[in-house]
Copies of this chain bind each other. A is one copy, B any other.
Amino acid sequence: MSKPEQDIPTIFALFNEIGIISQLSSRLFETRLPDGFLVSHFAVLNHLTRLGDGRTPLSIAQALQVPKTSMTHTLKGLHKAGLIAFEPNPKDSRSKCVMLTDQGRTFRENAIAALGPDMVQMAQRIDVSKIADALPILIEVRAYLDKAREAE
């Protein structure tokens, strides 16, 4: 703790691994999605399913840590595919609410099912309890970066 410079290589290594795993998992995931859909699309559907729909584009963008202009584009794609619907935001007419359609929910379920075999295979080859052990610090790092970004 006395010499934080010593810790820098460890932090670098973390970001290095995370960058590559993110790259690998996204690409693998996308091969399992229907043509024309990306992880960015799935991430929105998943977010709305897990935390509830009716959220605004901005709040989704912040949760997924992408610029709001990117979210506009992603939502446009989901809307064109009929997976989400827009409703006016009764509390703020500058804004909108993003709603999941039935097709959107089905799409997410199918996507998860399509990944199932990969996940099961991975669960058989990797000690998942170690992943569970690693999750808290990752969540901590995420929260830290999130705050550091706000404070910028």
Judging by beta carbons under 8 Å apart, are B14 and A141 in contact? no
Q: Is A93 an interface residue (CB 8 A)?
A: no
- Is the Cβ of B4 less than 8 Å from the Cβ of A142? no
Q: How far is the CA of A128 from the CA of B124 in the complex (A)?
A: 29
- Taken together as a complex, chains A and B put the C-alpha atoms of A123 and B11 apart, in Å, by 8
- Would you mind naming 13 contact pairs between A and B with Cβ atoms under 8 Å apart? A7-B131, A8-B116, A8-B120, A8-B123, A10-B128, A10-B131, A11-B123, A11-B128, A11-B131, A17-B138, A20-B65, A130-B136, A133-B133
Query: A135 → chain B, closest Cβ, in Å?
Result: 6
Interface status of A145 (Cβ within 8 A of chain B) = yes
Q: Could you give, for residues 60-86 of chain A, a 1 whenever the CB lies within 8 Å of some chain B CB and a 0 otherwise? A: 000011100000000000000000000
**A138 and B14 within 8 A (CB):** yes
Q: Does A51 contact B (CB under 8 A)?
A: no
Residues in chain B near residue A144, CB distance under 8 A: 122, 125-126
A127 part of interface (Cβ distance < 8 Å): yes
Q: Which residue of B lies closest to A116 (CB)?
A: B8
CA distance A136 to B137 in the complex (A): 13
